Chains A and B, each alone.
Chain A
């Protein structure tokens, strides 16, 4: 029999015992729905995590350090091909520019990070300050920020992280209450002045051998023949923004909660730990950095860039390894969710077997007639297969819709809960097209397997017996 004929006959037969076949199909759709719901939850959660991590700008960022600083920082240790610390290069401005010229690199900016004294309303605070490039404006980490981003890359302006803003206002949140409204913090702080006291590294204006006697250089540091002066400075900064997110959460305790524009921070020549160690190796008067952040065009190219930077003799670190571990976790999660989801489908496949075996008993005579007028065993078998398959596909389609609806419902409900806990709503349910195809295909396959036994039994039916049966 031709496929269209087969399909037509199968659908007709399914319509004949509408209730029974509908119930069986509903059984399949519940199975498919549970599979879809489970897997889409897994996929949605993974996407949520990926989105969160991508937002933080961690996935497309490679942290480059002079190898000396990253000794013992994981995989570099076991990398015999890499240069030994002795051959490692100094991370200075020329190195930064070289890195920036690497393919796939969007930008490379120095990590300027120091701990000055900050004065707000005459109260001193010790806080880590870091510099942000102008590109950080588009970073999702500053999504939901109150106020505005820096007006220019050199403006004497500052953005505060929410927790520091709370500290400034003496508003330490009570235990249990997780969130304070950023807008409440922003109102008294935006436009206010913050004074930063820091030590500036000024290159010795005269010869290193004979420090000039003058008030301009209160103290001179002489380090292995190289000399620079340290000048205490003070800078008034305007608070322009309060960030809700924690853009440096990956750095743990060393994360900064106060942010300056990059060019401004560079111009300050604040003394940095790297200065003491690297200044002697620096060529000429170039600035030396303790680390450089490299932004890669695409998270997929992180590995390439990392390799290229390593070849240059620097240490690198990216979140890639961490994300690999995460992928592993999600793969296990998928497997579990998939197994549980499939269980329901397998149970419903027994329903198909039952329905079709019943149908054989009921349609015994019909099978006999078909054989008497020329149907081959194969024709009868294919017909039952087609019926099973049609139930599988129909159940699959209904199931996908049902699973999607269940997901939406749970997502909706969870968001109501999140909202009541003053968390932002999340979209943690995703039904990608491949899952739709997979679910329907799987349902079809399971139903065909279920049809195997009934179809074989129908095909082997003895027509003489079947026709005698009343």
Chain B
């Protein structure tokens, strides 16, 4: 089955180019169809024409030939009869010679041949050739030119018969011809047959000329029809192509692109409707852009307006906090609460602003080549105080060679910190494993914890805004609930994937995959999402979260079995 389909696809690939042109070009299709159909029509018409000309030519020839042959035969018969009544009866052969000579002299025109044959006493015997007169282009005529059927008919019916045949010359040349035969009785010598052979060379030449002319005309006609079809389709297709090009430019962002409207025909209507559609779209897009600009502007303004007083509050709180030892217990606790909640407020504000920047489409990628290992190392270092507090070991597995990737270091750093901090916070003191791997097209990091893990279906929810695995834990673990949403946006901005795996009691694993070049394509991640050691209690079927907007469905980079891809 698979080899069959492979063979099929190979064959399809070979056929692809001409088939592609056939599929893509309307004018090619119309011209080809026109040519094929007109070829059939012209062939039928040409055949009919040639046939009727042929028939006409032969009918005329037949008529004149028969008249001539009848006249010749009756004259020969009268000569014979006259000889018979004469005083001396000449010998049969002499008589025949003189008759044929006379006939030939009368026949005159070259190529016309007269043969006088003796009727054999019994049928089937070779006819005795008495005399043949006249010659053709190929020298002397052979009496084999006279078909036996005709001779039989003449002998049987004793009257004039004729047929078409090939006239044979003694040197082997043949021409089509008409043979007219009639019985001739020679007094004292018995039954003879007189045959007139009329070569149809002239008629054949005429016919060939006509055929050639018809052929040339047919070819010219077909070509001209193809040309006409091309011109006509061009009239229709070129506006359509112009429309396609305009639509392409339009969709590429040149919103002022319009079609020119000429006349009042269907094409003009097409152009008008297209332009109407374009104007409507342009208005909508401009409005949306305006909205987006307003939103961005608003975010930026809110950001600034909020941040300045917040800075003052922050600094004031810090001063109070530093001096809390000099305050009474209630004021001291208040200073502490103020300080802590300000931290929370700040990070919430920062995350909200970041998310609205993504939503407004204002996020810009500032990519430089960086070593992913260095970024991971830094993120792990930054999380070291937290790891110490949680008594969690963070194990990093990275290749010895540099893992270069074009990335926005600030964003990827934020993603990695987020993943590592999350893993430590949910790891319940068990080790957190961080793995780095890279190949030519992609780099990947997995962060794995051995905490409570994710329930079935939760791996697709973790990236939702303000989603929490356990609402009751929210207050204690801190965080804004926006971290993974921002991380997903950050990774998406790079054209990468951020995926989650988890099983209850088996911990969770997050994998970030980035193309090595911005805008590059990836088919698979260098690291498996599901850890090799997974599969203990209550293992959930693998259902990693995928970003449907970015990731190809069929590429299926996610390994279906644990351990595929090796290094973890």
A and B assemble together: no
Query: What residues make up the interface of A, taking CB atoms closer than 8 Å to B?
Result: none
